[in-house]
Structure 1
Amino acid sequence: MNDLIYLYGLVPKSEMETGSVSDMADFSGDGHLRAFPIGDAAAIVCTLDGNEYSEEVIKERTSNDMEWLQEKAFHHHETVLELARRFTVIPLKFCTLYKSEDSLVSSIEPASDKLRAAFEKIAGNEEWNLKIYCNDTALKQQFSTSNPALEEKKAAISTLPKGRQFFENKKIDKWLDGEIEKEKDKMGETIHEQLSNLALTSHVKKTWSKDATGRPDPMTWNSVYLVSKREVESFLQKIEDCQKDLEAAGWQLEATGPWPAYHFSSIS
């Protein structure tokens, strides 16, 4: 089988005049990356043995060889991170493979206008992620303190027979759980709006389960922001200020970045 082309990302060809990727190890670990010019862009690629990295082999190893998958996924992630430190980069997904340089060119050339627009959008900017977690017990305790609506509901059932109170308390607990969920959404939306005012653009993502995060507290918000490098300090300070204000109520704000602009540079 012929060699395959592994694509890590695309950078403006002009930036390759003063930069290099020849010192970066490739996917196999036996070679190095190279820049392959396509119009105004340079594809950052490496060449892989077609037999060793065929579609069938990769499908088998990603399904059954977790150690291999973790090693290669980590390599891809770290490589794209390093590219983002050196260049304006449109990152590609893990295991983006082409059968030949010709097939790579035929895929990328028609997207030249989208490429230019994407480079202009992300140049001089950084992607940051915010995840918000909440301690339900702490939030429920704070929410229950001096809550007029809750006090009214409890007062209304205080004279009922004990058996009836039991069932009415169940209804109140269900109502309170609903109010807590509303409060989580409201808090996330409030913080997101404040951060979006400091960002060029933003996206709200799905939250992760406890199984995925490995944390005891549930994730209540997950969003990404494209932030000008000039505004990053103010952006992070806003998150720090929000954390200080909300920490006692059980909220934890986790900002990570800068990341390659995965969410703001799609050319598909």
Structure 2
Amino acid sequence: MNEELSYAYAVVRPTPDLAEGPVPGVTGVASGAVRVVGAGALAAAVGSVPRSDFSEAALKVRLEDLDWLERVARAHHGVVEALAARTTVLPLRLATVYVDDDRVRDVLRRGEETFTRMLDRLTGHVEWGVKVYAEVPRAPAAPAADDAGASDPGRAYLRRRRQQREERGTAWSEAAEAVRRIEAEAGEIAVRLARHRPQQGRLAVGTGENVANDAYLVPGERSEEFRDRVRRSTRDLRGVRVEITGPWAPYSFAVLTEEPEAPGEVGGP
């Protein structure tokens, strides 16, 4: 049995500098080289990965290891972004693996119509991420200075708790207004919107509670206008933090509704 599998990063159209063969200067998952595998008018960026880590059985265990998953995700993202700097890419989901390059070619042939349609839709567009945070105040851990001498500490505590609930409600209300304004303003430029689950725990970065975690598909030449509109639309809101990231390859809009073969599975012979 072959001890290596073919890990597919993205579907592209072949170009002079992305022809069949190695992609110089690009390193992928498991520190492996990246190559282009072609089939007619389409191609895929592929790398070899060890079966011991990427077989269907191994992935069921590996995908529970957040440190390992983060390393794979970073390497996968690095390859896709390197490709996106050269051409339009249709990113594939993390850990899309096949038994060999011939199976990759077979998937490209059978999915040519779907892949081509999606590449046409994404050409000239980039993804921008917009996260909205409500800057919610922390719960009072100790009496405030003006409550320290109060004759009824319990009543003072309840007063502080009530104030915190009011401030929390205000912050969430302002954050909801920020989401509405951003969608209204930026939506005039973006051609598609994808809503993701708000990030919590280890995935959340920075202060505040993540209220919205959205992605916008934007014509590349209007990126600066998009960013300006997002910033302007929320400038006067208090207790709200807006994070704009990008431009990225259009991960959120590369969802195949008619997958030739389920990503994440090892293709059969």
1:114-133 equivalences under 5 Å are 114-133=114-133
1:12-27 equivalences under 5 Å are 12-13=13-14, 16-19=15-18, 21-27=23-29
- Structure 2 letter corresponding to 1:185: A
TM-score normalised per structure 1? 0.75
Cα separation, 2, equivalents of 1:120 and 1:187? 32
Runs of 5+ unmatched residues, structure 1: 139-166
- Structure 2 letter corresponding to 1:250: G
Cα separation, 1, equivalents of 2:215 and 2:181? 15
- Aligned partner of 1:255 among 231, 244, 253: 244
**Distance change >3 Å, CA 175–CA 253, structure 1 → 2:** closer
Cα separation, 2, equivalents of 1:60 and 1:265? 26
**Alignment-derived partner of residue 151 in structure 1:** none
Cα separation, 1, equivalents of 2:180 and 2:235? 18
For residues 140-193 of structure 1, the C-alpha deviation after alignment (integer angstroms, 9 at most, x for no partner) is: xxxxxxxxxxxxxxxxxxxxxxxxxxx9xx999989966764553333122211
Structure of larger gyration radius: 1
Contact conserved, 1:210 with 1:217, CA < 8 A, in 2?
no
- Structure 2 letter corresponding to 1:229: G
- Aligned partner of 1:264 among 253, 256, 261: 253
The structure with the largest strand share of the pair is 2
**Alignment-derived partner of residue 6 in structure 2:** 5
1:76 maps onto 2:76 in alignment: yes
1:234 maps onto 2:225 in alignment: yes
**Alignment-derived partner of residue 263 in structure 2:** none
**Distance change >3 Å, CA 18–CA 61, structure 1 → 2:** closer
**Distance change >3 Å, CA 217–CA 67, structure 1 → 2:** closer
Contact conserved, 2:128 with 2:247, CA < 8 A, in 1?
yes
- Aligned partner of 1:220 among 211, 236, 239: 211
Contact conserved, 2:37 with 2:105, CA < 8 A, in 1?
no
Larger displacement relative to structure 2 (36-45 or 183-192) = 183-192
Contact conserved, 2:6 with 2:100, CA < 8 A, in 1?
yes
Cα deviation, residue 235, structure 1: 0.6
**Alignment-derived partner of residue 88 in structure 2:** 88
TM-score normalised per structure 2? 0.74
**Alignment-derived partner of residue 97 in structure 2:** 97
**Alignment-derived partner of residue 45 in structure 1:** 46
Contact conserved, 2:7 with 2:47, CA < 8 A, in 1?
yes
Paired residue secondary structure (1:63): coil
Q: Percent identity?
A: 25
- Structure 2 letter corresponding to 1:22: P
Larger displacement relative to structure 2 (69-78 or 224-233) = 69-78
- How many pairs align? 235
Cα separation, 1, equivalents of 2:171 and 2:82? 41
Contact conserved, 1:125 with 1:228, CA < 8 A, in 2?
yes
- Structure 1 letter corresponding to 2:13: P
For residues 77-116 of structure 1, the C-alpha deviation after alignment (integer angstroms, 9 at most, x for no partner) is: 2111211112211111221100123332333322211111
Paired residue secondary structure (2:131): strand
